[in-house]
Homo-oligomer: A and B are copies of this chain.
Amino acid sequence: MHIITISREFGSGGRELGKRLADALGFDYYDREIITAIAAAKGLDERYVSHTLEHHGWQNIPLNFRSSFTGFPPPSSIQTDLLLAQKQVIEEIAKAGKDCVIVGRNADVLLKDYNPFNLFVCAQMETRVRRCMERASESEDLSQKELEKRIRRMDKIRAQTRQLLTASPWGQAHTYDLVINTTTWDIKTLTPAVAQFAQLWFRRNQL
Is A139 in the interface zone, CB < 8 Å from B?
Answer: no
- Secondary structure dominating the interface of A: mixed
Number of copies of this kind of chain in the complex: 2
Q: Which residues of B contact A120 (CB under 8 A)?
A: 173
Q: Which residues of B contact A185 (CB under 8 A)?
A: 204
Bound-complex Cα distance A174 to B183 (A): 9
Neighbour of A174 across the interface among B174, B176, B181, B186, CB < 8 A: B181
How many residues in A have their beta carbons less than 8 Å from beta carbons of B?
Answer: 29
Bound-complex Cα distance A181 to B204 (A): 14
Min CB gap A131→B, angstroms: 15
Q: Which residues of B contact A197 (CB under 8 A)?
A: 193-194, 196-197
Bound-complex Cα distance A176 to B185 (A): 13
- B176 adjacent to A181 (CB under 8 Å): yes
Extra pairs beyond A124-B174, A171-B173, A178-B178 (4, CB < 8 Å):
A176-B181, A184-B204, A189-B207, A190-B200
